Amino acid sequence: MILCSNPSEQFKSYQYEIEQAVISVMRSNSYVLGEQVKLLEQEFAEFIGTEFAIGVANGTDAIEIALRALNIGYGDEVITVSHTAVATVAAIEAAGAKAVLVDIDPQSYTLNPIYLKESLSKNTKAIIAVHLYGNAADLDPILSFCKANKLFLIEDASQAHGAKYKDKRVGSIGDIGCFSCYPTKNLGAIGDAGLVTLNNPDLAKKVRMIREYGWKDRKSILPGVNSRLDELQASILRIKLKHLDSDNQKRRDLAKFYYDHLSLLPIALPKISSNVQSVFHLFVIQVEKRQSLLNFLELNGIMAGIHYPLAIHQHPAYEGQISTVSDMSITEGIVKKIISLPMYPELTISDADKIVKVLMKFYQ
């Protein structure tokens, strides 16, 4: 069976290094927010191109803490997309703010800047641009809109570790970058983990305080949370970070194989802007008769995925309870057609060739 994602295979790729790192932590006397976290923060900041990186418990917390550090909370509005992981909106709500959802660009599946003006209100404080599927959002017009309206730009780069927009790594362009390191991510822990990236030293101090009860010298100076990164996950992420660029290149090579061999089939392939270097967290196609294709793939030993089968505003918890500005027709249309083909660095060209041949057989 070829899985859609397979983080255990990455563990096997770096098993010796990871096991040695884990044993070293286990034999130490420091298990949370210790030396491994500090080193990861330094190395990830250097990789992304920011002054600071701060480890937190997960990607959802990264966004919530970023919002709190920017003093965004009750009564404030944050513009983002409905085609994303529920975590993006859950984090906004956890900070006490209100999410305002806009439609996406039909090519990139990311926030469409043309809807920003109509979504703006006197309560708008920030935009969260989600870099989806390893692809970067169209940041220049979003940045211009933020500057013109004195809004903060938060990058949700949870699916785009290492991706570039105009030669800059995502997570280094807005006011704050937020990353999930869930096991299936391009930079994945063996458990939950997250990172916040930024250049402002005062904001960095606030993020560090908020992640641990708002403490300064063990006094809660401001309201905080418990979102500490443990040493085990930090040590594992340090190993994987060394290999991230080469693993991302393997993803691009697999994507090229898909492009080269699927272009004549009646499916819509991902479209990447010329000013973006994608890291192909997912390879998402659009098809008709989706369920029939999914069933056929599974019968032939291929597990594809759907990211995401519902837009956030269509989930029972949010339906009729969350603000949408545009008619959401693009978002609502694509969630009925998208399929995520298997994509991870350990997927072989031989496996990719099998996937291609099964797709060709389906469309004969």
> Which pair of structure tokens corresponds to residue 89?
């909106």
CA separation for the pair 71, 195 (Å, rounded): 19
Helix axis angle, 59-69 relative to 201-210, nearest 10°? 120
- Contact predicate 214/224, CB 8 Å: yes
Task: Provide block-wise average pLDDT over 10 residues at a time, the chain (364 residues).
Answer: 97 97 96 97 98 98 98 98 98 97 96 97 98 98 98 98 98 98 98 98 98 94 96 98 98 98 97 96 97 98 97 95 88 98 98 98 96
Phi and psi for 146 in degrees, rounded to 5? -60, -45
Phi and psi for 54 in degrees, rounded to 5? -130, 125
| pLDDT value for 152 | 98
Which of these, 103, 171, 94, lies nearest to 131 by C-alpha position?
171
Sign of the alpha-carbon dihedral angle for 257, 168, 138, 88: positive
Model-wide pTM > 0.85: yes
DSSP H stretches of helix in the chain = 7-13, 15-27, 35-48, 59-69, 86-94, 116-119, 139-149, 201-210, 231-242, 244-262, 290-299, 329-334, 349-362
| pLDDT value for 323 | 86
CA separation for the pair 156, 126 (Å, rounded): 12
- Contact predicate 54/102, CB 8 Å: no
Q: What is the pairing mode between strands 194-198 and 52-56?
A: antiparallel
**What are the percentages of helix, strand and coil residues in the chain, rounded to 5?**
40, 20, 40
| pLDDT value for 28 | 96
| pLDDT value for 288 | 96
Which of these, 232, 239, 214, lies nearest to 224 by C-alpha position?
214
> Which pair of structure tokens corresponds to residue 296?
């056929």
- Contact predicate 237/190, CB 8 Å: no
| pLDDT value for 327 | 87
Domains of the chain: 7-242 (3.40.640.10), 244-362 (3.90.1150.10)
CA separation for the pair 364, 354 (Å, rounded): 15
Residue 323: how many other CB atoms lie within 10 Å: 14
